[in-house]
Amino acid sequence: MSAKFAIVPAITILSVLVLLSLLLSMGFGTAELGYGEIWQCLTDQCQRSIYQTILIDIRLPRVLMGFLAGFALAAAGALMQNVTRNPLADPYLFGIVAGAGLGATISGYLPDSVQAISLPLAAFLGALFAVAIVISVLMHSNWRRIEHLLLAGVAVSFLLSAFTSFLLYFGEAFASNRVIFWLMGSLARADYSALMWTFPVVAISCLLALVYARQLDSLLLSDESAKTLGVNVDKLRLLALVICAAMTAVIVSYCGGIGFVGLMIPHIVRPFFGLTTAKLLLSSGLIGGCFLVWIDVIARTILPGQEIPIGVITSVIGSIFFLFLMRKM
Amino acid sequence: MSAAQLQANSITWKIDNKTIVDDVSLSVKKGETLGIVGPNGAGKTSLLKCLYQELSITSGDVFLDGVALNTFPRKQLAQKISVVSQHHDPVFNLTVFDIVHMGLIPHKSFFEQDNSEDLRLIEQALEKVDLTDKTYQSFSTLSGGEQQRCLIARAIVQRPIIMIMDEPTNHLDVYYQHQILALVKKLGLTLVITIHDLNLAAQYCDRILLLAKGKVKAIDVPEKVLQSTLLQEVFKLTCLVDENPLTMKPRVTFSGGSDVS
């Protein structure tokens, strides 16, 4: 199939890549715990019981969460670029991060008794709020132009960020710090309960998108041509956008702002694996997952004894990538 | 007259109180080719859109095989009518295969995968339009004629009974104009086509509908519609109609604009 990989070898290559990434990334971390010790843990018994705790309770959920977050963000980006026919679309343009940030900030003001549900849930509600504003604006403008979606998202982002800044400015320093660090993105919060919440959302969203893959493909040419093929374009696009928003919001709630993954990965994937929905979504997801796993390895090892927010690294790489992309277009 | 396959009864389409399609009635028989001609802004494309429900008509009825068009579910309609429209500029590098593959959409339910029959259908369609060697080439790198043929292949895969084409010969040189029209005529489908070139219309259409300011000026066989007085009135140019010695069809020649009476 011209320069592209056929579907079976493509999935084989990607699966190997995913397995290797997940396994190898386990060997990196602050604690001196290398492959030798891991091998011993796997085959026999850990040298010290603390190793088991580090591997199973800290590193494994973190690696899995990194993979899931990368998968979800890249898949959402792929879906969003396809349904808007805009190669620069990114799920973050919904104002999701700004909304989640506002939610997180407000949660800092809640009484201690409700702090248990606090940050992730509040961030998720904030993200949904942002998406709701964007989508309701679009419904009123009758979807006249797809570009409106992106512009509305930018406007909502600025609005909600302004509220957040206002609250943080008058808030106490400690709470403000917490929100600001969270906004920079980190996988340090990852644990099994976080995985339990995020995995089903991502899995269901991707399955739904795959069920509608054929119809989604019809949008790639033009709305009108999709309509003549019997596709209900408005409903389908709304569904796809809700799927993107749900995946992104749930990831942002637990991991904070990890930008540019959704923008960048589909571009890297398209020339090799194809641009129709099913192929693009799956391969973007798998590659995005591996990408974020390794970015997180960098984030937690590059400075000794200190962790860099993962969102900072993805933003640096992503924005440079973005600029190169614009130069080419 | 045998039963019409597609019939429109005094359809009107208005937007912002402006009437674009004005009380148009037409009928097309099975296997017939109807050409819609008229000056720019006559409402040709809008009329087509009314016929495939892209625009919802303000008043009137459209029937497909005797059944009101608006009672068809979207998907079923797409199994009966395929549309080849102009202006496609995909952002991503869709291949010819990707686009022809879309023709399967109206025939597939959720979870249904492509089978060997589907792939054979796509292969055959590409053969018919002579694009087999460009199957995996990017659509945007094709010439105008090839893009049209690619969209026709998609329409073939859609397996319709009626094919509606909006200006299929636009921007094509003479060779490709004839190639495209001869190609779609060979498919044996009912065709409704808008077309600018009156001589092409005379050659390839069984009947011609002359549209001006949204109204039907004439609808009949080419010999009856293409008459100098009528054309002069609609196109505001002095014109001469004689017989094309090669095709024995009416031939229309316009003079320049300055000597209009």
d(CA A208, nearest CA chain B) in Å: 10
What pTM was estimated for this model as a whole?
0.88
Overall average pLDDT of the B61-82 stretch: 91
Label residue B53 left, alpha or beta by phi (over 0 means left) and psi (-120 to 50 means alpha). left
d(CA B89, nearest CA chain A) in Å: 7
- Using DSSP bridges, classify how beta strands B18-29 and B33-37 pair: parallel, antiparallel or unpaired: unpaired
Range of the domain at B198: 4-254
Please report residues of B whose CB lies closer than 8 A to that of A215: 105
Residue B36: its H or E element: strand B33-37
**Rounded distance, CA A220 to CA A237, Å?**
12
Note whether A101 and A129 are within 8 A (CB): no
Q: Among A87, A212, A229, select the one facing B102 at the smallest CB separation.
A: A229
DSSP3 helix / strand / coil % (chain A, rounded to 5): 75, 0, 25
Nearest CA to B168 out of B140, B202, B198, B145 is that of B145
From the DSSP assignment, how many helices (H) and strands (E) are in chain A?
15, 0
Please report residues of A whose CB lies closer than 8 A to that of B73: 230
Query: Token digits for B52?
Result: 């495939």
Could you say which residues of chain A have pLDDT below 50?
1-3
Task: Please give the pLDDT value at position B220.
Answer: 93
Phi/psi of residue B19, nearest 5 degrees: -85, 115
> For an interface test with B, which of A220, A229, A239 has the most B Cβ atoms less than 10 Å from its Cβ?
A229
pLDDT in tens, B100-126: 999 999 998 887 888 899 999 999 999
Note whether A87 and A267 are within 8 A (CB): yes
Mean pLDDT of chain B: 90
Q: State how many domains chain B has.
A: 1
Q: Among B85, B101, B103, select the one facing A224 at the smallest CB separation.
A: B85
Task: Please give the pLDDT value at position A144.
Answer: 56
> Under an 8 A CB cutoff, do A214 and B104 touch?
yes
> Under an 8 A CB cutoff, do B94 and A214 touch?
no
Nearest CA to B51 out of B84, B5, B16, B6 is that of B6
Tokens 């004839």, residue? B178
Task: Please give the pLDDT value at position A142.
Answer: 60
B39 assigned to some structural domain? yes
Note whether A164 and A102 are within 8 A (CB): yes
pLDDT in tens, B152-207: 999 999 999 999 999 998 888 899 899 999 999 999 999 999 999 999 999 999 99
Q: Is A182 on the interface with B (CB under 8 A)?
A: no
Q: What is the DSSP letter of B95?
A: B
Q: Is A217 on the interface with B (CB under 8 A)?
A: yes
- Using DSSP bridges, classify how beta strands B250-254 and B239-243 pair: parallel, antiparallel or unpaired: antiparallel
B260 assigned to some structural domain? no
Query: Token digits for A247?
Result: 């995946």
Which chain A residue's Cα is nearest to B158?
Answer: A229
Sorting pLDDT into bands at 50, 70 and 90, what band is B261? very low
Sorting pLDDT into bands at 50, 70 and 90, what band is B257? low
- ipTM, interface predicted TM-score of the complex: 0.86
> For an interface test with A, which of B49, B50, B72, B91 has the most A Cβ atoms less than 10 Å from its Cβ?
B91
B53 assigned to some structural domain? yes
Task: Please give the pLDDT value at position A116.
Answer: 55
**For residue A168, what are the CA distances in angstroms to A75, A161, A176, A257?**
32, 10, 5, 17
Show the domains of chain A with their CATH numbers.
7-328 (1.10.3470.10)
B234 assigned to some structural domain? yes
B222 assigned to some structural domain? yes
> For an interface test with B, which of A85, A88, A221 has the most B Cβ atoms less than 10 Å from its Cβ?
A221
Strand order in the sheet with B81-84: B81-84, B162-166, B190-194, B33-37, B207-212, B215-220
Q: Among A220, A222, A229, select the one facing B78 at the smallest CB separation.
A: A229
> Under an 8 A CB cutoff, do B78 and A228 touch?
yes
CATH code, domain with B83: 3.40.50.300
Q: Among A227, A270, A276, select the one facing B54 at the smallest CB separation.
A: A227
B261 assigned to some structural domain? no
> Under an 8 A CB cutoff, do B90 and A85 touch?
yes
Q: Among A1, A87, A217, select the one facing B91 at the smallest CB separation.
A: A87
Would you tell me which residues 72-101 of chain A have a C-beta closer than 8 angstroms to some C-beta of chain B? 82, 85-87
Q: Among A85, A211, A229, select the one facing B105 at the smallest CB separation.
A: A229
Q: Is A222 on the interface with B (CB under 8 A)?
A: yes
